[in-house]
Chains A and B, each alone.
Chain A
Amino acid sequence: MHPLADKYIRKAGLPLIFCPGCGDGTVLNVFLRAVEEMGIFNDLALVGGIGCSGWLPTYLQSDVLHVLHGRAIPFASGLKLTDPRRKVVVFTGDGDCVGIGGNHLIHGARRNIDITVIMINNGIYGMTGGQVAPTTPLQGRTQTSPYGNLEFPFDVCELAWSAGATYVARWTAAHPIQLLKTIKDGIEHRGFSFIEVMAQCPTQAGRYIEGSSNPGELLGLLKKRAVSLEKAKGASPEELAGKFIVGKLHHLSGKKEFSQAIYESFAEEKIR
């Protein structure tokens, strides 16, 4: 076992429930490194939604809430408001964040509350048996779209950006070093940070949408589809079809943060 895992992981829960080669484990691994490098373990408060990725925080020996389906961001907002010194991080999946909790995502982003949302996007409802998700690619075959998905998928980063999130970034499980830097940036940023991690799901999305359940092959596909911001600027829409842009998509500092605004308003009340 890795020394970092020995330090931070709750032993009773091991081994991790994830399928072999799941991208969620990589995110946990990278998150532990970010926590170690920043030295913020005692200030952490983690919230996990429902789904494979919602299990991630439950393995850490810190304060954890494992909450209702789709309601991770409201619980995290409450945690942040009770004590603004907390570093609140939400782990959620694409189905949890956009499918069931889409409304909560846009309102969290609109308030610009200082939480970090790490959304792991595998393009399918993996845990429940491979149903079509709001992020399933067009023509993707799943258990509930056996003739190909006819719905257009969400670009969740653009949604969070337009709803008012002040830090938006996207990476994949194939870019752990960049992801590490982004998670550190996101936690440090004062405001709503939204980090999307494209991850492989060998058991459901890999087998039915991509036609391969080999994790290595799926990781290679992710790497091939990732286009950096610089390359995407000069590319035509045809070149970008079926691909996604990775990097720090949006960063705005200086916008009023919600928990700070609320505590400042209390002080004013007292004076009057």
Chain B
Amino acid sequence: MKASPKKRSAKEILIDDQFCKGCNLCIEVCPRKVFGKGDKRSRAGYSMPQVLALGNCAACFLCEMTCPDLALTVVEGKK
């Protein structure tokens, strides 16, 4: 199946462990369930979310815009 030219995807999703406070809002707002709870701790000791399914990401930037600590970056592009 040929992909439509408008289809967007993310190359990588970066979560900064210096600023993440583990509120898990990114898990909540993502319509495609890209994120999940993780085991890794941020530098302040909060339990950070992790990227589970990068392939599902449509680069809508909802998580990036909602992140209250500006810790999340979605890099658009082909993987």
A129, CB-defined interface residue at 8 Å: no
* Complex: A101 Cα to B72 Cα, angstroms: 35
- Which A residues lie within 8 Å of B16 (CB)? 1-2
The answer to whether A177 and B25 touch across the interface, beta carbons within 8 angstroms, is no
* Complex: A24 Cα to B67 Cα, angstroms: 10
Candidates A5, A177, A180, A219; contact of B70 at CB < 8 Å: A5
Interface Cβ pair total, 8 Å cutoff: 87
Name A27's closest neighbour in chain B (CB-CB): B68
Name B21's closest neighbour in chain A (CB-CB): A20
* Complex: A180 Cα to B64 Cα, angstroms: 13
* Complex: A182 Cα to B65 Cα, angstroms: 15
* Complex: A32 Cα to B65 Cα, angstroms: 10
Q: Is the interface of A mostly helix, strand, loop or mixed?
A: helix
8 A Cβ contacts from A190-234 to B? 202, 215-216, 219-220
Among the 9-residue stretches A10-18, A37-45, A74-82, A144-152, the one with 4 or more Cβ atoms under 8 Å from chain B is A10-18
- Which A residues lie within 8 Å of B62 (CB)? 176-177
The answer to whether B71 and A29 touch across the interface, beta carbons within 8 angstroms, is no
B40 to chain A, nearest CB (A): 16
A67, CB-defined interface residue at 8 Å: no
* Complex: A18 Cα to B25 Cα, angstroms: 14
* Complex: A15 Cα to B44 Cα, angstroms: 10
Candidates A9, A24, A32, A33; contact of B68 at CB < 8 Å: A24
Name B23's closest neighbour in chain A (CB-CB): A21
* Complex: A2 Cα to B65 Cα, angstroms: 10
A143, CB-defined interface residue at 8 Å: no
The answer to whether B69 and A16 touch across the interface, beta carbons within 8 angstroms, is yes
8 A Cβ contacts from B32-79 to A? 44, 46, 62, 64-73
In the complex, besides A1-B71, A15-B69, A180-B65, 20 extra interface pairs with C-beta distance below 8 angstroms are A1-B16, A2-B16, A2-B71, A2-B72, A4-B70, A16-B19, A21-B21, A21-B23, A21-B24, A21-B68, A25-B67, A26-B66, A29-B65, A29-B68, A33-B65, A176-B62, A176-B66, A215-B23, A215-B25, A216-B24
Between A and B, 23 residue pairs with Cβ closer than 8 Å are A2-B72, A15-B18, A16-B69, A18-B68, A20-B22, A20-B46, A20-B68, A21-B68, A22-B23, A25-B67, A26-B66, A26-B68, A29-B67, A29-B68, A29-B70, A30-B65, A176-B62, A176-B66, A177-B65, A202-B23, A215-B28, A219-B29, A220-B28
The 4 closest A-B pairs by CB, nearest first: A25-B68, A21-B23, A216-B28, A20-B21
